[in-house]
Amino acid sequence: MTLSSYAVELSDLRMRAAMFYGPNNLVVEEKKMTYDKNDVVLKVDVCAVCGYDSRVYRNGHKKVKPPLVLGHEICGTILTEINTDYGVIRSGTRVAVSPVIPCLSCKLCFKHQYNLCNNLREIGSTVDGGFAEYVKIPQQIIKIGGLVEVPDNLKSEEAALLEPLACCLNGFSHLKKVGPESTVLIIGDGPIGLLHLQISKKLYHAKTAVVGKIPSRIQRAKAIGADEVFMFDDGTARQVMSFTDGHGADLVIVATSSPDALGFATKVAAKNSNINIFSGFPNDNRFSIDPNWLHYNQVSITGSFSSTPEMLQKAARLASDGKIDLSKIISHRYSLDNITQAILDTSEFHGLRVVIDRF
Ligand SMILES: [Zn+2]
Ligand SMILES: [Zn+2]
């Protein structure tokens, strides 16, 4: 079947989708999908709810122009065979999706840093995403290898979490050296904090602690293998200093959108350490820092955002090999009709990752 006949055949595809019309206004309704011959259409099997989705639901976001379908942590099935530069993907193949849509013509795209593209568009943020029966995949994603085949031994709900795992791997790839001698402090006990924890312990064998605010999540962090866990309060900085023999942590990963985390990170970072701001924050957050503290202690503060297809492929290998267990991160499963509840669970920190697995 050619792409054009495929396009004609599916041009009046109707589907159910969760339409975001603005803050606190999400409606599940029938929607017509429009697309051209360059688009590939996936049937969505599972789409996970990211903290980003819950922030957009509550407050909107400057990137998001409603009406729009949110959702970027997607496992879907290819409806028709696709020829790519990386080989043929047969119809019926399950794929994880890299949601970044690069322009392929800016300086960063030439360097394959597609997540930083100067003209970046994103599935579930600037174009319709995965909280729907079907999602359209622009040709740029196919070109950069952004559809990654899901290994047979991974469930579709695990495959939906390959995208956030890829983002965490991207974060680690920009850090100063990390290894068995390092102490790592993860601020945030949510799904992203616990993915960082697995990477830190299983891939780098670092001495790792997690700071959080939700007792059940803190217990989960301990069960997953944290060397120490701390409930966040006025005494936590002192406890972290004692955990690190008075030096502070070599790597501090901010995996929460709580503004408290930034000032706290500067209290527990060691000399020559790296603080990575992994999470996005609510709009208009600012935090101040003493430049002399950075200078005299040789501290680096970095950020990391999203991921590249290369990281998504690496995520698939690590999950398939059992090095990272994504099933430990999933707590609730909902149908698309209950998407608002799924998003509220996420924003109210009930459980861990919530997935939409019935459409
Ligand atoms: Zn996400
Ligand atoms: Zn670009």
CATH architecture assigned to 175-303: 3-Layer(aba) Sandwich (3.40)
- Quickly tell me which residue has 């193949």 as its tokens: 93
Alpha-carbon distance 182 to 170, whole Å?
19
Calculate how far, in angstroms, residue 117's C-alpha sits from the geometric centre of ligand 2: 4
Mean pLDDT, range 44-58, rounded to an integer: 96
Ligand nearest to the CA of 117: 2
What is the chain's percent helix, strand, coil content, to nearest 5? 35, 30, 35
pTM: 0.94
Calculate how far, in angstroms, residue 65's C-alpha sits from the geometric centre of ligand 2: 20
Domain boundaries, the chain: 3-163+307-358, 175-303
Ligand nearest to the CA of 74: 1
Is the C-alpha dihedral spanning 68, 72, 76, 78 positive or negative?
positive
State the DSSP code for 203.
Answer: I
pLDDT at 10: 53
Q: Cis omega (within 30 of 0) on the bond before 23? A: no
Calculate how far, in angstroms, residue 332's C-alpha sits from the geometric centre of ligand 1: 16
Calculate how far, in angstroms, residue 64's C-alpha sits from the geometric centre of ligand 1: 14
pLDDT at 282: 77
Alpha-carbon distance 324 to 24, whole Å?
34
Calculate how far, in angstroms, residue 112's C-alpha sits from the geometric centre of ligand 2: 9
Calculate how far, in angstroms, residue 51's C-alpha sits from the geometric centre of ligand 1: 7
Q: Which residues pair with 333 in a beta bridge?
A: 355
Alpha-carbon distance 216 to 20, whole Å?
31
Ligand nearest to the CA of 144: 2
Mean pLDDT, range 88-95, rounded to an integer: 95
Calculate how far, in angstroms, residue 110's C-alpha sits from the geometric centre of ligand 2: 8
Calculate how far, in angstroms, residue 143's C-alpha sits from the geometric centre of ligand 2: 13
pLDDT at 8: 45
Alpha-carbon distance 85 to 173, whole Å?
26
Q: Are 265 and 256 a contacting pair, CB within 8 Å? A: no
Exposure string (b/e) for 236-268, b if CB count within 10 Å is 16 or more?
bbebbbebbeeebbbbbbbbbbbeebbebbbeb
Calculate how far, in angstroms, residue 61's C-alpha sits from the geometric centre of ligand 1: 14
Calculate how far, in angstroms, residue 18's C-alpha sits from the geometric centre of ligand 1: 17
Write the pLDDT tens digit of every residue in 20-47: 999 999 999 999 998 777 779 999 999 9
Please calculate the CA angle 226-170-280 and round it to the nearest 5 degrees: 80
- Bigger pLDDT: 208 or 7? 208
Calculate how far, in angstroms, residue 306's C-alpha sits from the geometric centre of ligand 2: 14
* Tokens encoding 335: 């149908």
Cβ-Cβ contacts under 8 Å for 31 (sequence gap 6 or more): 14, 15, 16, 17, 19, 69, 132
**Count of residues making up the chain:** 359
Calculate how far, in angstroms, residue 73's C-alpha sits from the geometric centre of ligand 1: 6
CATH of domain 3-163+307-358: 3.90.180.10
Q: Which residues pair with 246 in a beta bridge?
A: none
3-class secondary structure for 9-61?
Answer: HHCCCEEEEEEEEECCEEEEEEEECCCCCCCEEEEEEEEEECHHHHHHHHHCC
Write the pLDDT tens digit of every residue in 303-319: 999 999 999 999 999 99
Radius of gyration (Cα) for the chain, nearest Å? 20
Calculate how far, in angstroms, residue 279's C-alpha sits from the geometric centre of ligand 1: 10
Calculate how far, in angstroms, residue 52's C-alpha sits from the geometric centre of ligand 2: 22
Ligand nearest to the CA of 113: 2
Could you tell me the pLDDT band of residue 176, with boundaries at 50, 70 and 90? confident
